Amino acid sequence: MTHRASLPSTPMPLGSVDAIVLGASAGGVDALLAILSALPSSLMLPMIAVVHIPRDKPSLLVKVLGARAHIAVREACDKDLLLPGLVIAPPDYHVLLDVARGGRHLAGAQDVHLALSNDEPVSYCRPSIDVLFQSAAEVFGPRVAGLVLTGANDDGALGLQAIKANGGLCAVQSPDEASARRMPEAAIASAQPQLVAPLNGIIQWIIALDAERAGDTEGTVFRER
Amino acid sequence: MRSIEGQDAEGVFEIELKLLLEAIFQRYHYDFRDYARSSLRRRLRQAMERFGASSLSVLQDRVLHDAHALPILLDYLTIQVSEMFRDATHFLALRRDVLPILATYPSLKIWIAGCSTGEEVYSMAILLEEEGLLDRAIIYATDVNEEALHKAEAGVYTLDRVPGFSESYTKAGGKGSLSDWYTAAYNGVVFDRRLRRNVVFSDHSLSTDGDFTETHLVMCRNVLIYFDRELQDRAIALFEQSLMPRGFLALGAKENLRVSSHAAAFETFNTHERIYRKR
């Protein structure tokens, strides 16, 4: 990795998390391409993304992002378990994190799965970053990291605030670097994230979180179904 | 009253949620106990705002002691979002590939499970009428929410939704114009009552009721996503029991039978459109 030049001036917020949830809007595809092309294939931390795309267009995102990624990129399906790689919300559905019957919210990651919803758009967005982030905060408590990237609306601000309130880690792309600064600015104002950094710093943070988790025996053990 | 925060608050909310669902079941026999939790939590937070309730316990008090509160709460707990010809290619596949097979039967029974406010009922009725099959078909349109069923039966939709419906109708292989099937009135449209001459609207719960009838096609789209795995399995077992051999099951675009223990009873007919066929 050669991202040292742009290391954030604040220390990287680290902790043992079971997943990263992230949201992006205008300019988000390019930002995600930059992140994905820099993440190593050995990355085990599950990532779940909401990227705003036109509701009626079949999503080409998986194909576009998958072509440049070294980790698996999939579209979310109802009841999918969390696995290493990036899962993307399908067009026109919210994606939430949920726990199986008998499991309790905040009980741990072993039985967390994705749940799709057809509920009304939130602030004109379906999928909504806030909906994903709020469910992540409820399911994982402190064991989740939220990341807000470039975008031209306020989606994600309330969700990131919820993650912070429940003890999770929060990061936002530097508004100066983002191709649209409104979404990062709204998230910073609302959540006071522990990390504000350009993409290079964000990439290092993700890799560091993955390393933390690998050293944590309480983390989820992934097994093939 | 905000004495607890963060994780503690989540734990208390979880307890209250279980108690509320149990209370609704015991008092009114609506069973939401096996619905997917995350969506329920979102909807109940919205319901708390609507009722001005500071906690789910307060909401529980209201719904136990005030029967008028129940229908309002049901609107939050049941699925109310539906569109005509949603995922137009799904309806196109039904029209092109499934209906010609169903046309070989002298009479047809179709079950639309979780029909909500009826958008898919009219979509199906139009499809059948245009393919010359409505006269020998019976459509059973069921939902747990009686208010939604009344709306489905009325067939009235607001005008602002019609352009989207029309576009999807055309993409789904519509043979004319959607306006052939409705009359504009005030700020809405009313669908032709002839479309529901063979539709039976009925109260039915996939959580607590039994299988329905010997059907040729079961359509249940974007309903199972609101159920937990066990309830999904129960519903799929009902569909299997209700379908005659070689009958069809049509699910939503992001639903599948993969995690169901009844998967082996079905074969895939159209992977992309999530159309399955009973073996």
Complex ipTM value: 0.88
In this complex, do B36 and A119 lie within 8 Å of one another by their Cβ atoms?
no
Instruction: Summarize the confidence of residues A44-64 as an average pLDDT.
Output: 86
Q: Is the pLDDT of residue B211 over 90?
A: no
Distance from CA of B163 to the nearest CA of A (A): 13
Considering only residues A218 and A200, tell me which one the structure prediction assigns the higher pLDDT.
A200
Phi, psi for A2 (deg, rounded to 5):
-125, 50
Q: Which stretches within chain A are classed as H helix?
A: 28-38, 61-68, 129-140, 157-165, 182-191, 199-214
Residue A2 confidence (pLDDT): 43
Question: Which of A21, A62, A78 is best to mutate for the B interface (most B CBs within 10 A)?
Answer: A78
Taking the C-alpha atoms of residue A148 and residue A50, their distance in angstroms, rounded to an integer, is 10
Instruction: Summarize the confidence of residues B181-194 as an average pLDDT.
Output: 93
Largest Cα span, chain B: 66
Distance from CA of B109 to the nearest CA of A (A): 27
Cβ of B92 under 8 Å from any chain A Cβ? no
Q: Is the pLDDT of residue B2 over 60?
A: no
Question: Which residues 150-189 of chain B have a CB within 8 Å of chain A?
Answer: none
In this complex, do B81 and A120 lie within 8 Å of one another by their Cβ atoms?
yes
Instruction: Summarize the confidence of residues B5-22 as an average pLDDT.
Output: 85
CB atoms under 10 Å from CB of B274, counted, come to 21
In CATH, the architecture of B88-278 is 3-Layer(aba) Sandwich (3.40)
The confidence band for A4, taking pLDDT boundaries of 50, 70 and 90, is very low
Residue B1 confidence (pLDDT): 40
Q: Catalytic: which of A25, A128, A174, A190? A: A25
Cα dist. A187→A21, A51, A134, A138 in Å?
14, 15, 14, 18
In chain B, what residues touch A98 (CB-CB under 8 Å)? 36-39, 228
Residue A75 confidence (pLDDT): 94
Enumerate the CATH 3.40.50.150 domain ranges in chain B, comma separated: 88-278
- What tens digit of pLDDT does each residue of A117-164 get? 999 899 889 999 999 999 999 999 999 999 999 999 999 999 999 999
Distance from CA of A131 to the nearest CA of B (A): 8
In this complex, do B225 and A118 lie within 8 Å of one another by their Cβ atoms?
yes
Q: What is the mean pLDDT of chain B?
A: 93
Domain A15-214 has CATH 3.40.50.180: yes
Pairing outcome for strands A46-51 and A85-88: parallel
A111 classed as catalytic: no
A59 classed as catalytic: no
In chain B, what residues touch A79 (CB-CB under 8 Å)? 229, 232, 259
Q: Catalytic: which of A18, A154, A155, A210? A: A155
- Give all strands (DSSP E) within A56-166, no chain letters: 73-75, 85-88, 94-99, 112-117, 144-148
Taking the C-alpha atoms of residue A12 and residue A194, their distance in angstroms, rounded to an integer, is 8
Distance from CA of B226 to the nearest CA of A (A): 7
In this complex, do A101 and B36 lie within 8 Å of one another by their Cβ atoms?
no
Residue B81 confidence (pLDDT): 75
**DSSP string across B110-162:** EEEET-TTSHHHHHHHHHHHHTT-GGGEEEEEEES-HHHHHHHHHTEEEGGGH
A113 classed as catalytic: no
Cβ of B52 under 8 Å from any chain A Cβ? no
Cis preceding-peptide flag for A142 (omega within 30 of 0): no
Instruction: Give me the half-sphere count of Cα atoms (radius 13 Å) on the Cβ side of residue A32.
Output: 31
- What tens digit of pLDDT does each residue of A201-210 get? 999 999 999 9
Taking the C-alpha atoms of residue A63 and residue B2, their distance in angstroms, rounded to an integer, is 46
Looking at residue A98, the DSSP 8-state letter turns out to be E
Instruction: Summarize the confidence of residues A74-96 as an average pLDDT.
Output: 94
The confidence band for A77, taking pLDDT boundaries of 50, 70 and 90, is very high
